[in-house]
Amino acid sequence: MAGPCEIDLHIHSTYSDGLLSPKAIVDYAHNCGLRAIALTDHDEVSGYFEACEAAQPHGLEIIPGIEISSMYHDSETHILGYLFDPHNENLLYVTERFRIHRVERAKEIVARLRHMGMPISFDVVRMRAGHGALGRPHIADIMVEEGYVFSFQEAFQKYLGEHKPGYVPKMKLSVEDAISLIHNAGGLAFVAHPGINTDTSNIHSLIEMGLDGIETMHPKHSPFLVESFQELVRKHNLLETGGSDCHGARRGEMMLGTLPVPYRFLAEMKSQQSMRDVTVRLGQQTPS
């Protein structure tokens, strides 16, 4: 029988497309009795610092995290990064590139909707996003409020989803570049929710690129998929991660802390990272 949830390593805040601020997430996680969490905002790490400050009174462990938008051939394949240096200059340069692109993308989506008779103000979209990364969810919320659609889901199904008239592709890195970006910042790279949109046969290629692990536990993974991915982990000596992929309660239940993800996953990540750090330091030593 699965045990209680001890950690949640896949959470989105208002710094990307989540509904809750990092502080609200920290407070909720503390009330759930979690030991550690990771904010894995899309292409953004700024929420980590706010979460760390909010967690100090609770003693909740905050892990640096990110979910990078990337592609493998023609397949969208997101990469989760953990335990990297959140001050890494190259990582911050890339996240700033993503931020600028998201603004331009949102402007183009708003322009397309205007041509379809839905004159949404870009300034209103920007205010809705606050300090977070502008995204389609912010636009969808305003479409509902303005009465252009009846629901958030309808906004995506009719206008904002892929191949729909208001869709604009977003910036993506190659999977190789995403993994390298995380590794060069001292972190570990995992393929996100492979049961949703990743061809399982591609995982073997990702492993050859240096993938450190697989997100085995996810709300949309069936027990069969969880076991299948865990078998891959054992076969290739990989790490595991898991989390609720919580975006707030926009689509119903508040998922944060609802999966039985064990602290063991995080402990094994830290152990592997420590061994890697030792190897790097030894390799940098000048022979006598």
The token pair that represents 102 in the structure block: 């998201």
Query: SS3 helix, strand, coil % of the chain, rounded to 5?
Result: 45, 15, 40
The token duo for 256 is 């944060």
Report the distance separating Cα 60 and Cα 8, nearest Å. Answer: 12
pLDDT digits (tens, 9 = 90+) for 185-238: 999 999 999 988 766 778 889 999 999 999 999 999 999 999 999 999 999 999
Range of the domain at 142: 94-160
pTM of the model: 0.89
Same domain, 196 and 280: yes
Show which of 160, 189, 214 is a domain's final residue: 160
Which pairs from 91-97 meet CB under 8 Å and 24+ separation? 91/45, 91/66, 91/181, 91/182, 91/184, 91/185, 92/45, 94/43, 94/173, 94/181, 95/43, 95/44, 95/45, 95/66, 97/171
Kindly give the interhelix angle for 47-55 and 22-31, rounded to the nearest 10 degrees. 40
Tell me, yes or no, whether 223 and 277 share the same domain.
yes
2 falls within a domain: no
Tell me whether residue 245 is in a domain: yes
Are β-strands 75-76 and 70-72 bridged in parallel, bridged antiparallel, or unpaired? antiparallel
Residues 232 and 183 in one domain: yes
Q: Over its length of 288 residues, how does the chain's per-residue pLDDT go in tens digits?
A: 356 789 999 999 999 888 899 999 999 999 999 999 999 999 999 999 999 999 999 999 999 999 999 999 888 899 999 999 999 999 999 999 999 999 999 999 999 999 999 999 999 998 888 777 788 989 999 999 999 999 999 999 999 998 999 999 989 999 999 999 999 999 999 999 998 876 677 888 999 999 999 999 999 999 999 999 999 999 999 999 999 999 887 666 788 989 999 999 999 999 998 887 666 656 665 554
Residues 6+ apart with CB under 8 A from 270: 83
Residue 184: what pLDDT? 97
> d(Cα 14, Cα 58) in Å, to the nearest integer?
21
Strands (E), the chain: 7-11, 36-39, 61-63, 65-68, 70-72, 75-76, 79-82, 173-174, 188-191, 213-217, 239-242
Cα separation, 103 vs 13, whole angstroms = 18
Instruction: Examine the domain organization and report whether 51 and 186 are in the same domain.
Output: yes
Strand partners, 67: 42, 80
- The answer to whether position 168 is within a domain reads no
155 and 247 part of one domain: no
Task: Find residue 82's DSSP bridge partners.
Answer: 65, 188
The CATH number linked to 187 is: 3.20.20.140
- Whether 1 maps to a domain, the answer reads no
Q: Is residue 167 part of a domain?
A: no
Distances (CA, A) of 182 to 94, 104, 224: 11, 25, 29
Last residue of a domain, one of 160, 189, 209: 160
Residues 77 and 134 in one domain: no
Question: What tokens were used for 53?
Answer: 């400050």
* CB of 82 closer than 8 Å to CB of 91: no
What pLDDT is recorded for position 235? Answer: 95
For residues 182 and 279, state if they share a domain: yes
Do both 102 and 184 map to the same domain? no
Number of domains in the chain: 2
